[in-house]
């Protein structure tokens, strides 16, 4: 069990550029979540996948954001036309969800990608 990994760990970009982050979850986990954390705040939910299906998106996820999880394995989060307000830590988490809400669904987080938009 190698844990959740995220790449890159840091990304500095200029306003208006596109960026893409990658998350590799724990191998047997069927759920994958994206969160965003800004300074002084707790992580905030952005979106999640059950296998390859994206089942919910937060209102925080504007049209400039898109996430994919092809084949239900790794996931990518793309931000188009970045803005300074997008500067944050982007966290990925994965879990093994039991069927029909039975059991627990503990999420394990990766180290995050720190995005700075200049």
Least separation in angstroms between CB 33 and another protein = 7
3-state secondary structure of 48: strand
Give the residue with the Cβ less far from another protein, 6 or 82: 6
- Shortest reach from residue 54's CB to another protein, in Å: 11
Least separation, in Å, of the C-beta of 90 and another protein? 10
Looking at beta carbons only, is 32 or 79 nearer to another protein?
32
Considering only CA atoms, which of 103, 74, 54 is closest in space to residue 2?
74
Strand order across the 19-24 sheet: 5-7, 19-24, 75-79, 65-68
State in angstroms the smallest separation of the CB of 9 from another protein: 8
> Residues in the site for another protein, rule: CB under 8 A?
4, 6, 31, 33, 35, 40-45, 48, 55-56, 91, 93, 95, 97, 100-101, 104-112, 114
Of the candidates 91, 88, 76, the residue with the CA atom closest to the CA atom of residue 4: 91
First to last CA, the chain: 37
């Amino acid at each position: 069990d190698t844990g959740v990994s995220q790449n890159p760990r840091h990304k500095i970009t200029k306003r208006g550029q596109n960026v893409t982050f990658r998350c590799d979850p724990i191998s047997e986990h069927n759920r994958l979540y994206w969160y965003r954390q800004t300074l002084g705040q707790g992580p905030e939910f952005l979106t999640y996948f059950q296998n390859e299906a994206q089942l919910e998106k937060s209102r925080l996820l504007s049209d400039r954001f898109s996430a994919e999880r092809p084949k239900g394995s790794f996931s990518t989060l793309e931000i188009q036309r970045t803005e300074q307000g997008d500067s944050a830590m982007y966290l990925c988490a994965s879990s093994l969800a039991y069927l029909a809400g039975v059991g627990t669904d503990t999420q394990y987080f990766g180290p995050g990608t720190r995005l700075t938009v200049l």
